[in-house]
Amino acid sequence: MQPLVVDLGDRAYPIHVGSDLIGRSDLYAPHLAGLQVLVVTDATVADLHLDRVRRALGNREVASVVLAGGEADKTLDAVSRIVDVLVERRFNRSAAVVALGGGVVGDVAGFAAAVYQRGIRYIQVPTTLLAQVDSSVGGKTGVNHPRGKNLVGAFHQPVCVIADTGALATLSERELRAGLAEVIKYGVLWDAEFFDWIEANLDGLLARDEGLLARSVRRSCEIKAEVVSQDEREAGVRARLNLGHTFGHAIEAGMEYGHWLHGEAVAAGTCMAADLAARMNWISAADADRVQGLIRRAGLPDRGPAALSPDDFLRLMARDKKAVDGGIRLVLPRAIGDTVLTGDFDPRALAGTLEACRADIEPPFFD
Amino acid sequence: MQPLVVDLGDRAYPIHVGSDLIGRSDLYAPHLAGLQVLVVTDATVADLHLDRVRRALGNREVASVVLAGGEADKTLDAVSRIVDVLVERRFNRSAAVVALGGGVVGDVAGFAAAVYQRGIRYIQVPTTLLAQVDSSVGGKTGVNHPRGKNLVGAFHQPVCVIADTGALATLSERELRAGLAEVIKYGVLWDAEFFDWIEANLDGLLARDEGLLARSVRRSCEIKAEVVSQDEREAGVRARLNLGHTFGHAIEAGMEYGHWLHGEAVAAGTCMAADLAARMNWISAADADRVQGLIRRAGLPDRGPAALSPDDFLRLMARDKKAVDGGIRLVLPRAIGDTVLTGDFDPRALAGTLEACRADIEPPFFD
């Protein structure tokens, strides 16, 4: 199958989606100018896939850094560790980094590649559904600050994305569902037909039908590639991809990073955005119900934790990168398939949403 | 006087060169979209100029970070400190950083601006001759790694450069001369007429005639702006600006950062490059003598320290960012005013240069 392409001129790159791609040396080779490759991964993924990647890299000089795994890896210290290895091995400007793992590995390894020698190339090999449909595409890299998520980072596009849907077979149930949150997000923010398709095929997706998963990854990446090609630096339309994220980041930060998975927080945030839009009559109550219903069917939270008060939310949301001089801006649906970034919403409606969309819930959210 | 412009399309920016510019609020205002400004400086420069910058910024929300001063500030820890202040003050994406000081301040503050929220704007206000003629222009930012100079960084262009030649009056004699090394470098690498002009006006430059200093800053920035506009990411012609730097970085690293000033190491490196080129008959012995003679007249070292053996040099030079898969590449003159980046030089000639161009010398190098 033809790869998708993120069309960024001389920095355009392919996204390969399919089965059994991780070990395909022909997918790596065109993007490795030099002989030195550093594979960054985490302990779980290393056991499952590292050997296949090493074999695919052939007789190049391959080093690896294995992170512990989880959001706690997303620190400047982890970036320092990766850079230390690049320096110790005397990797030069034509060396490459391979980010093998979930979103955290991709963000940290990509940021290390962005700053080592002011930028070397890197290949994304996402192994979670969330990383395949979202974080591996688009060049956002970075780490968290104790006071906020993704506050330190860089835009640095990969030279290639290899999304092997076979890797999804070993994903935990919880991570699969967290990834589906982002898939559903694409339907809500961009493509009503895709939303219909997810509704119709959710059971098969949850049963890990690989053909259905591949279709959902491919369509999600198509949307992301289209948006990123239009607006690499998030000056405009790209902000729409952050549907559910301002609420979601507040949940992640307020509950301490890693307690809720990113996808779970985005699921709740998407439901809260739909609730707020319905309160202002931007979308119908029926459409808000459809969004929330699909998220519930996927075994994802349709509201935030009661542990966070409305004031907690407001305080945490004001720190969002999209906020301008203290004013919160939100991505809100105008319909299923259409969203807008705006600071122009009714604050009383937001207060209503923050009050109503709370529940005494704890991950995991499915039986 | 009209500012110079670094022509990078939608990221083009002006370079203002002249007297009494630091306090000119009209030079800052067009580049500050938001109300939040962080001034990064060092202790010495803060005493001399910080108040004027604060006044020029008017009633914006101004914070400052004062580094200790010197190459030891050029660490990831210093970047972390700056980011911590940006986070604590909740500075948003429309905030700006002002880098007030020498090359170290500019590199560290610029890198912090490059990575905070994946990039916010910054203004360079260079106060040393070296920073005015070189490091403040062109968007190279970064910090050192214990094992190598500038190994971590980013390309991130400033939105404006304000080079106040009045600031040069308080520069130490040693720093003035270190800056002249980079001025002489531009003559050798790009502009034979400018080299002639420096030869003719060196006494006035050393006597700090402000008109002559302003002319030397302006011509140096013109050359740098022209080169950077052609090749922002150093894929080609920009590498020529590194004349003397592969030798020079080896000296800086081998003698421990900060013992030799960057400009002093570049002066010695430029003389070594001229010596090597003369050994291969790329330039005449007379031209090599002119280069070395001008550098000596400026009270700068015309050779490296005897403490570094030729083997030390080779080991340190192989770590240079321009090296490719272990092979050293050097910027060498083909004439005064013309240079080339090449790996194609006679290794015996290099061995001869490394043996001959050593002396038992210690900074400072003038009486």
Under 8 Å CB pairs connecting chains A and B tally to 86
The rounded Cα A365 to chain-centroid distance in angstroms is 20
| Backbone region of residue B11 per phi and psi (left: phi > 0; alpha: psi in -120 to 50; beta: other values) | alpha
Considering just the CA atoms, what is the radius of gyration of chain B in Å?
20
Decide if B37 is inside a domain: yes
Beta strands in chain A (DSSP E): 4-6, 13-18, 36-42, 61-67, 96-101, 121-126, 140-145, 148-155, 160-164, 304-305, 330-335, 338-342, 358-359
pLDDT at position A325: 64
DSSP state for residue B124 in the 8-state scheme: E
Q: Which of A128, A119, A190 is nearest to A159 (CA)?
A: A119
The span from the CA of A116 to the CA of A350, in Å, is 43
Decide if A287 is inside a domain: yes
Confidence of residue B147 (pLDDT cuts 50, 70, 90): confident
* For residue B63, pLDDT beyond 80: yes
Which of B10, B108, B117, B152 to mutate to probe the A interface, most A CBs <10 Å? B152
| Mean pLDDT confidence for B9-31 | 97
Indicate if B152 and B272 belong to the same structural domain. no
Indicate if B251 and B319 belong to the same structural domain. yes
Q: Yes or no: say if A276 and A330 are a contact pair by the CB < 8 Å rule.
A: yes
The span from the CA of A211 to the CA of B276, in Å, is 63
Domain count, chain B: 2
Out of B94, B114, B116, name the one closest to residue A324 (CB): B94
A262 is catalytic: yes
| Average per-residue pLDDT for chain A | 95
Last residue of a domain, one of A170, A205, A225: A170
Angle at B235 between CA B229 and CA B239, to 5 degrees: 80
- CA of B278 vs chain A CAs: smallest distance (Å): 29
Decide if B259 is inside a domain: yes
pLDDT in tens, B255-312: 987 789 999 999 999 999 999 999 999 999 999 999 999 999 999 999 999 999 999 9
pLDDT at position B235: 87
Indicate if A221 and A348 belong to the same structural domain. yes
CB-CB under 8 Å, A83 with B80 = no
A156 is catalytic: no
| Mean pLDDT confidence for B159-187 | 97
| ipTM reported for the complex, 2 dp | 0.91
Decide if A367 is inside a domain: no
pLDDT at position A326: 67
B156 is catalytic: no
The span from the CA of B286 to the CA of B294, in Å, is 12
A118 is catalytic: yes
Phi then psi for residue A12, to 5 deg, are -60, 150
| Mean pLDDT confidence for A84-104 | 95
* For residue A30, pLDDT beyond 90: yes
Indicate if B86 and B206 belong to the same structural domain. no
Indicate if B189 and B158 belong to the same structural domain. no
The span from the CA of A216 to the CA of A337, in Å, is 16
Which residues are bridge partners to A62 per DSSP?
Answer: A37
Give the nearest chain A residue to B114 (CA atoms): A154
Residues of A in contact with B151 (CB under 8 A): 83, 87, 116-117
Q: Yes or no: say if B157 and B11 are a contact pair by the CB < 8 Å rule.
A: yes
pLDDT in tens, A220-274: 999 999 999 999 998 899 999 999 999 999 999 899 877 899 999 999 999 999 9
Q: Which of B118, B147, B256, B281 is catalytic?
A: B118
Angle at B216 between CA B212 and CA B220, to 5 degrees: 170
Last residue of a domain, one of A152, A170, A188: A170
pLDDT at position B338: 96
Decide if B264 is inside a domain: yes
pLDDT in tens, B93-120: 999 999 999 999 999 999 999 999 999 9
More confident residue, A176 or B90: A176
DSSP state for residue A14 in the 8-state scheme: E
Give the nearest chain B residue to A156 (CA atoms): B118
Q: Which of A71, A175, A182, A232 is catalytic?
A: A182
- Its domain, for residue B241, covers 176-359
pLDDT at position B195: 98
Identity of the amino acid at B297 = R
Lowest mean pLDDT among A63-77, A104-118, B20-34, B322-336: B322-336
- Label each residue of A258-288 as H, E or C: CCCCHHHHHHHHHHHHHHHHHHCCCCCHHHH
CATH value at residue B195: 1.20.1090.10
DSSP string, B220-259: HHHHHHHHHHH-TT-SSGGGGGGTTHHHHHHHHHHT-TTS
Indicate if B117 and B159 belong to the same structural domain. yes
The span from the CA of A47 to the CA of A52, in Å, is 10
Phi then psi for residue B143, to 5 deg, are -135, 170
A224 is catalytic: yes
CB-CB under 8 Å, A76 with B154 = no
* For residue B146, pLDDT beyond 90: no
pLDDT at position A4: 96
| Mean pLDDT confidence for B43-71 | 96
pLDDT at position B237: 94
Indicate if B165 and B191 belong to the same structural domain. no
DSSP state for residue B47 in the 8-state scheme: I
Identity of the amino acid at B227 = V
Indicate if A164 and A177 belong to the same structural domain. no
Last residue of a domain, one of B120, B138, B170: B170
The residues of A whose Cβ lies within 8 A of any Cβ of B are 34-35, 76, 80, 83-84, 87-88, 90, 92-94, 114-119, 140, 142, 145, 147-148, 150-155, 318-319, 321-325
The residues of B whose Cβ lies within 8 A of any Cβ of A are 34-35, 76, 80, 83-84, 87-88, 90, 92-94, 114-119, 140, 142, 145, 147-148, 150-155, 233, 318-319, 321, 323-325
* For residue A34, pLDDT beyond 90: no
Indicate if A312 and A351 belong to the same structural domain. yes
Give the nearest chain B residue to A320 (CA atoms): B92
| Mean pLDDT confidence for B175-179 | 97
pLDDT at position A318: 87
More confident residue, B70 or A176: A176
The span from the CA of A108 to the CA of A141, in Å, is 7
Confidence of residue A187 (pLDDT cuts 50, 70, 90): very high
pLDDT at position A215: 98
Give the nearest chain B residue to A116 (CA atoms): B152
CB-CB under 8 Å, A118 with B154 = yes
Indicate if B243 and B272 belong to the same structural domain. yes
Decide if B365 is inside a domain: no
* For residue B125, pLDDT beyond 70: yes
The encoded tokens of residue B226 equal 């022209």
| Mean pLDDT confidence for A277-294 | 97
Q: Which of A163, A309, A314, A184 is nearest to A243 (CA)?
A: A184
The span from the CA of A91 to the CA of B271, in Å, is 29
pLDDT at position B318: 87
* For residue A40, pLDDT beyond 80: yes
| Mean pLDDT confidence for B81-85 | 97
Q: Which of A238, A240, A279, A358 is catalytic?
A: A238
| Average per-residue pLDDT for chain B | 95
Q: Yes or no: say if A101 and A45 are a contact pair by the CB < 8 Å rule.
A: yes
Indicate if A110 and A252 belong to the same structural domain. no
Lowest mean pLDDT among A96-100, A219-223, B147-151, B209-213: B147-151
Which of A32, A79, A86, A115 to mutate to probe the B interface, most B CBs <10 Å? A115
Count of all residues that appear for chain A in the document: 367
Q: Which of A50, A125, A106, A111 is nearest to A83 (CA)?
A: A111
CATH value at residue A12: 3.40.50.1970
pLDDT at position B199: 98
The rounded Cα B129 to chain-centroid distance in angstroms is 9
Residues of B in contact with A87 (CB under 8 A): 145, 147-148, 151
Indicate if A177 and A83 belong to the same structural domain. no
pLDDT at position A71: 85
* For residue A149, pLDDT beyond 90: no
* For residue A367, pLDDT beyond 90: no
pLDDT in tens, B5-19: 999 999 999 999 999
pLDDT at position B325: 64
Decide if B367 is inside a domain: no
